[in-house]
Each structure stands twice: as structure tokens, then as C-alpha cells.
Copies of this chain bind each other. A is one copy, B any other.
Amino acid sequence: MRDVAIIGVSQTKFGELWDKSFRDMITEAGMGAIQDANIEGAELEAMYVGNMSAGLFVQQEHIAALIADHAGLTPIPCARIEAACASGGLALRNGIMAVASGYHDIVISAGVEKMTDVVDPTPMIASASDQEWEAKQGVTFPSLYAMMARRHMYEYGTTREQLATFSVINHANASKNPRAQFPMEITVEQVLNSTMVADPLRLLDCSPVSDGAAAVILCPAEDARKYTDTPIYVKASAQASGTIALHDRKSLTTIDATVNAARTAYNMAKMEPKDIGAVEVHDCFSINGLLAVEDLGFVEKGKGGVAIEEGMTQIDGEIPVNPSGGLKARGHPLGATGIAQTAEIVWQLRGEAGKRQIDGLEIGMTHNIGGTGGTAAVHIFSL
């Protein structure tokens, strides 16, 4: 198996991008990554695109060919990878395998979602849950995560203020991220007074509806220094599945897919949680950020709320979480998120993260979830 490195990354600004089409956004991200890697488009040998539901959002399947055509990349092989909101993480993982296998040398893994061309994205997002057992019975994603939050509060005494603090830290980081959808600070009080969505989750606990795209360029680790002075090495690429429906779980407060993917990742990298210097976690709702801090092994189960309250996850804390602003404040264009997380960790490792730079970071992690944890992808990167 060949080792793999990242030599280029890019992310469009996330937001309600009404002036940019699906194909505009992904082409912008791809061009950005190509320029960042200092290569020509003609050097790309294959493309993987993470996208959850262009079919439901813009009535377009077959998007990988569409993008290759629009971007002038034909005839390279290209595939769309889908695992709901973890589609980006899986596009990265399959790109890594394409290089590791020797099938291809230079590969682009990208992600894109255009969510604001529909009146109500709720049914599209709900298609990430078990349609027959959950969505068609009227359950929405905020309500699924609300049940997990309520149970965590009941079992471990987690407070509303602790959940709110996760959003507050995200926004503090996003205020220094020019690509973030909501680059402004908020307070715990604002979270607690925001509109109720699904009790106990309020509007400012929820990631937004976003348009956006991101891309990374991969190559064999042994070739990386031909292209860049700061290659970032893939130390682990791990993935696990879990029950798609919430009612099938042993516990509502542990996401088994995260636990399993993290264990595999730590084994691959021969590392432990204490070796990770920063992490981008999948906080589609504040409770999911809190669960990730626990399930990735940074604190014991049940201690996430207190750790967040005490500042452990702040950008200058013991384990900085979501320096980008996370899904909550950077934005969450579903299929793009796993790639945008990767771009952030790459910028942080290179020392290119501007005002939100973490000092002396050497090892970073990304954590990307599909649905309520039917899929989890965990990657570890190093200088």
C-alpha cells in the first residue's frame, strides 16, 4: 500500500450562494485546489466527488461526469460517492485508495452541495435517515438529534448552557474565517433565547442550510515534495457504518460508527487521542459536536459537557475543536463538509490559517458523520 499526501486544498465561501450554480461552485473549488497544488488540470488522473443529493436538490444525478465535462477534465475516470453528510469524507477516502492502490497518481477528491434552490430542504435532508422507519413517520433531523441531546442531559447531567457553549466557541472561531457562512461571534444567552427547533435544540444549536464546495489534491507521499514544500501526510483513513435508524441502538448517547472509525484510525496511525493536536468534528447539531468529543476519546463518556464549559475545546485549549467554525458557523453544504474539514486541517498544519491559527500544530484529525451516525469517517493527518 502506497502512502498518500495532500498537496492542494481549496474551499469556496459557504453560504446562500444564489448567484452560483452547482457546477460553478464545484469548478471554483477544483480550480482553487489545482492552483494551490501548483499543477495543471491535465495532470489529474481521477476524480471523486462527495455529494449527498443533487438528485433531490437540483434534479441532477450523474454529477461526476457533469463536473468533468464542465471543468474540461474528460476523459478521466470520475465517480460520485454518497453517504449522506459523510459523502465528502468518503470521497476523500476513495481518492486515497485510488492512489494507495497504484491505479492513479494524482487524484482530486471534492465535495459539493447546492441546498438553497428548493423551498424546503427538510425532506431532502430527511432522506439520510431511515425513510420507512423514521422520515415517513414525521421525524426530522433536528428531532432525531434532540432525542439524543435530551437523553445525554438525562444520563449525564449535561446542561443547556454546555450545549450552547459548543456553538459559541464555533462562532468565535468562524469570526476569524473569511470562508465561513456566519463569521460573527454569538453569546450563550443568544443561543438560549433563539427560536426553539426541536426541544431542547434551538436555532443556534443547528448547522445552517448551505451552498458550497471544497476540493483536495492527493498524490503518492514519495512524490509530494515535487509539488509543494509543505506536503500533508495521510496517517489514517478510517470508516465505519452503524445503525441508520435511531431505535436500533443500544444507546442514544454513543455513536458506534464514530467509536469504531476512531479506533481503526488510531490503530492505523499508531496514535492515541492525546497525540491529536486539533480536530474538526461533525457538529450538525451542538449535541453531535459534544458526542464527537467523547466518542473520539478526548474525554470519558458523559464528560463532554463539562469539558466544553471549562474551555478544553477552545482554540487555545487542550484539544482545539473546529478551528474553522465547524458545521454550525462555517456552514454545512452536506457533501462538501468532509472535504472542507480536511482543507481546514491542512491549512492549520501548514500554518496558513491566519487569525485562527493554532500554534505549532503537528497532527490533526477530521470526523465526518452521515445521518445520525449510520456512517462515520475519521482521518488523521500530519506534517
Residues in A lying within 8 Å of B, measured CB to CB: 1, 21, 52-53, 55-56, 58-66, 68-69, 73-84, 90, 93-94, 97-98, 100-103, 123-124, 127-132, 135, 237-245, 248, 256-257, 260, 370-371, 374-375
Contact = CB atoms under 8 A, between A and B. Distances in A.
Contacts of A239: 77, 79
B75 A256 contact: yes
B100 A69 contact: no
Given A60-B131, A79-B90, A81-B80, A65 B242 contact: yes
17 contacts: A55-B55, A55-B124, A59-B123, A59-B127, A59-B131, A60-B127, A61-B82, A65-B83, A65-B241, A69-B241, A73-B241, A74-B243, A77-B241, A79-B83, A82-B82, A94-B97, A97-B97
Given A62-B244, A65-B83, 14 more contacts: A21-B132, A55-B124, A55-B127, A56-B56, A62-B82, A62-B83, A65-B84, A66-B130, A75-B256, A80-B83, A81-B81, A82-B82, A94-B97, A101-B102
Specify the main secondary structure of chain A where it touches its partner: mixed
Nearest to A123: B59
A114 B66 CA distance: 24
Contacts of A69: 130, 241-245, 248, 374
7 nearest CB pairs, A to B: A65-B374, A101-B101, A77-B239, A62-B84, A1-B102, A75-B240, A100-B101
A232 B206 CA distance: 50
Contacts of A77: 93, 238-241
A227 to B, nearest CB: 21
Contacts of A59: 56, 123, 127, 131, 135
Contact of A52 (B58, B61, B93, B243): B61
A82 B78 CA distance: 10
Contacts of A242: 65, 69, 74-75
A15 to B, nearest CB: 22
Contacts of A257: 74-75
Nearest to A100: B101
A90 B240 CA distance: 21
A84 B55 CA distance: 11
A79 B76 contact: no
Contacts of A68: 241, 374
A240 B256 CA distance: 37
A140 to B, nearest CB: 14
Contacts of A124: 55
Nearest to A55: B55
B1 A101 contact: yes
A96 to B, nearest CB: 8
